[in-house]
Amino acid sequence: MNDEQIFYVAQKAFIKKGNDVLVLNDPVEGLDFPGGKIQVGENDIVESLKREVREETGLEIIVGKPFFTIIEAFSNTHKYAGKKAYIVCYKCEYVSGEVKLSHEHDNFTFVNKDNCKSVDDGTSYFEILKKYFD
């Protein structure tokens, strides 16, 4: 990583299982979805997202089409504070596995269009979740 780099490309997986979507909780940032920055040397963005999902949740997925993009600044409490990420959000399908969270998240739930307000924390990620269900 270059210390002068101020912009990253990241991906988030909105994983559908039945009628529900997996939602994670970051103990510092709040509402989150599996995914992360594309690493140096990763040329296959689909495999990069699958890797992130496996690392953070233990799940195997099928990566579908992107449905939303956003440029988001990392918060002041994040290790990349002061930098920004271009985030591509993908509709994904659950294939297999049991959710086993990495150290990055402390809780998870599945929500659907009818009960998604239960995870509304006022962040942009909740707004993206609403767009997912539109």
Taking the C-alpha atoms of residue 74 and residue 82, their distance in angstroms, rounded to an integer, is 6
User: Other C-beta atoms within 10 Å of 119: how many?
Assistant: 18
Residue 122 tokens, joined: 């006022």
User: Confidence class of residue 2 from pLDDT cuts 50, 70 and 90?
Assistant: low
Longest dimension (CA), the chain: 44
User: Confidence class of residue 28 from pLDDT cuts 50, 70 and 90?
Assistant: confident
47-106 pLDDT, tens digit each: 999 999 999 999 999 999 999 999 999 888 878 888 899 999 999 999 999 999 999 999
Range in 10-19, 76-85, 115-124 with the lowest mean pLDDT: 76-85
Coil, helix or strand for 7? strand
User: Confidence class of residue 126 from pLDDT cuts 50, 70 and 90?
Assistant: very high
DSSP 53: H
Q: Tell me which architecture the domain covering 7-133 has in CATH.
A: Alpha-Beta Complex (3.90)
Q: Which residue has the higher pLDDT, 100 or 1?
A: 100
Q: Under a CB-based contact definition with an 8 Å cutoff, are residues 2 and 117 in contact?
A: no
Asked if pLDDT for residue 23 goes beyond 70, the answer is yes
Q: What is the pLDDT of residue 31?
A: 97
User: Confidence class of residue 17 from pLDDT cuts 50, 70 and 90?
Assistant: very high
First to last CA, the chain: 37
Domain ranges of the chain: 7-133
Q: What's the pTM value of the predicted model, to 2 decimals?
A: 0.92
Asked if pLDDT for residue 5 goes beyond 90, the answer is no
Asked if pLDDT for residue 3 goes beyond 70, the answer is no
Q: Are strands 20-26 and 35-37 parallel, antiparallel or unpaired?
A: unpaired
> Cβ-count burial of 30 within 10 angstroms (0-12 exposed, 13-18 middle, 19+ buried)?
middle
